[in-house]
Amino acid sequence: MKNNIRVERAIKNITQEELAKLVDVSRQTINAMELGKYVPSTVLALKISRVFQKRVEDIFYLEDTD
């Protein structure tokens, strides 16, 4: 699964640390998601989408190999 968290953070001008605090995870978790090394739970994906005021599908998307 891919995501555009880094792009959305840049648009909102927030750091990984700030996003992590808003969704109650570590900065390392945000970093791992941005690098594609960690797939978030449904709850975490929903929290992130709420922060960016977008649909989950606008932030997270499947690759052809998924």
Domains of the chain: 2-54 (1.10.260.40)
pLDDT tens for residues 6-24? 999 999 999 999 999 999 9
Q: Please give the Cα distance from 23 to 5 (Å, whole number).
A: 13
Contacts by 29-36, CB closer than 8 A, 24 or more apart: 30/5, 33/3, 33/5, 34/3, 34/5, 34/6, 36/1, 36/2, 36/3
DSSP class of 25 = S
Q: What is the pLDDT of residue 66?
A: 85
Give 37-64 pLDDT, tens digit per residue: 999 999 999 999 999 999 999 999 998 8
53/66 Cα distance (integer angstroms): 25
State the pLDDT at residue 27.
98
